[in-house]
Amino acid sequence: MWALRAFALGLAACALVAGSAAAAVGVTADVRGWAPFELAVGPLSLLSFERTGASTSFELGPGLLAVALAGGLANALAAALLLRRRRL
């Protein structure tokens, strides 16, 4: 139960932080008139910002899900280590 809870909390926390950070970067890029760009981790896109004429768009990519999953796994692993240390 603790492992599932740790995984879920880590996943949710990382998803929230990464999503909000990406959105904040997108809003900043839009207002400041940045050139189009794409943030990615390897093949997975985190955020892509596009400008077409007067309109702009930013899209949160599947890389954010990967970041969230990695956060969930890391949190579950850290919880397991903590529990193991406590039992020793």
Angstrom distances, CA of residue 73 to CA of 31, 66, 85:
35, 11, 18
Place of tokens 């809870």: 5
Q: Which stretch binds other proteins (CB under 8 A): 9-17, 40-48, 59-67?
A: 9-17
Q: Are 36 and 50 in contact (CB under 8 A)?
A: yes
Q: Which stretch binds other proteins (CB under 8 A): 2-10, 43-51, 59-67?
A: 2-10
Q: What residues line the site for other proteins (CB under 8 A)?
A: 1-2, 5-6, 9-10, 12-13, 16-17, 20-21, 23-24, 26-28, 30-32, 71, 75, 78-79, 82-83, 86
